[in-house]
Structure 1
Amino acid sequence: MISLQFLLTAFVVVVAPGTGVVYTLAIGLGQGRRAAFWAALGCTFGIVPHLAAAVLGLAAVLHTSALLFQLVKFAGVAYLLWLAWQALRGGGALRISADRKAPEPWAITRRGALINILNPKLSIFFLALLPPFLSGAPESATAEMLLLGAVFMIMTFAVFVLYGAFAASARDMILSSERAMRWFNRSFAAIFAALGARLALERA
């Protein structure tokens, strides 16, 4: 069940840059270590609905229902484009600025959770990732999937916190340069827009 192969597979998936990583880095750079912690927590909680969908079999429904998949997908695309706009506009939630007031932890956590909740591929990902590592006993399959999912979430949180701490450590250097702040704001906006475009091209 919780084998070395599973841990390595999960670690590779978690470490790979994605929307959650980009969001946590942006928050760490723009608002510091504490804010990055809440961003990591939000991204981790955003996994819960997809894990539940995989355990309950709803991910298979999402996979076979083109309309449902498209609805969730384009909601996710719209949200990523909104985040791109927030990185560009003055006073935006993701804009890096030396004189901005940090938002409430709840707002940071909520945005991080929505990033993952509105990604329909995560449910299908869990449906594909977890079953190969189950023992094969039908009576314990649900408990085993929940345990593996919990381990995946713990790894996600730990890695994202490290990403955020790394970004926060570079915060002072970034804030001391107007040019660097402009470059990072534009870069994060472009990355979120690109991730939105990639999600728009995804198929169930």
Structure 2
Amino acid sequence: MQFAEILAFTTFAWIASFTPGPNVAIAATTGVNHGLRAALPQVAGVPIGFVALMWVVGLGGMAILQASPLLVWGMKLAGNAYLLYLAWKLCFSRQLSSSEAIKPLSLMQAALFQIVNPKAWMMLVAATSTYAIGHADFVARMSWMSLGFVVPSALSIMAWAWMGQSLRSWLLVGNRLRNFNLCMGLALALTAVWMLTL
């Protein structure tokens, strides 16, 4: 990769990883409701799942997706339906660590969640089609991109979960936790609806 490409990809990876989306919403909510330690499996699981999915797309999944618009639409519906389900649960969660709240994701759940995460699909399809597919040094580019996504992805989940945990004591006053969960649930729902229109 040329320096300009590395710079462009790195900027894309960091911005895309830290901007709001399903992964960071779940991380912040986990931090608030269960603490930073509960989000650590997600810190590892999200990058693992994302990079594995990126390799699948890069090694032939893109051709399958391009040949099957119905499959793409089905995956889009399934992913956004799951996001709306999480949003619904979150909107009605009113207690820290309650059975109503979204449970912390295990490493495997966080990794598998990337399959139905519309933002992850948009990121990896954009990245692989722009920086890797069709290039002679495909494997080297994909390897570099894997590392380039792992670091910001893990750090963004950690940062959002830490911010969530930092708000715990403040949110215990009055209806703040209920309002926070409601806002995060609505943000997740709006994200799902917005992604359905793309």
Give the TM interval when normalised to the shorter protein: 0.7 to 0.9
Deviates more, 1:154-163 or 1:116-125: 116-125
The DSSP-based 3-state class of the residue aligned with 2:10 is helix
Cα distance in 1 for partners of 2:63, 2:138 equals: 16
Gaps spanning 5+ residues in structure 1: where? 90-94
1:93-151 CA deviation, whole Å, 9 max, x = no partner? xx35236379986x4444433442113564454343245546x862x312321321232
Whether 1:187 and 2:190 are equivalent positions in the alignment is no
Instruction: Note the 1:36-115 alignment, pairs <5 A.
Output: 36-89=39-92, 95=93, 97-98=95-96, 100=98, 107-115=105-113
State the AA in 2 paired with 1:201: T
TM-score (norm 2): 0.82
- Cα offset, 1:62, TM superposition: 1.1
**CA contact under 8 A between 2:30 and 2:102: conserved in structure 1?**
no
CA RMSD in angstroms, aligned pairs only:
2.8
Cα distance in 2 for partners of 1:61, 1:5 equals: 27
Corresponding pairs, count:
193
Q: Sort the Cα spacing of 1:130 and 1:174 in 2 relative to 1 into closer, same or farther, 3 A.
A: same
**CA contact under 8 A between 2:84 and 2:192: conserved in structure 1?**
yes
**CA contact under 8 A between 2:22 and 2:117: conserved in structure 1?**
no
**CA contact under 8 A between 1:31 and 1:96: conserved in structure 2?**
no
**CA contact under 8 A between 1:74 and 1:200: conserved in structure 2?**
yes
Gaps spanning 5+ residues in structure 2: where? none
Identity %: 27
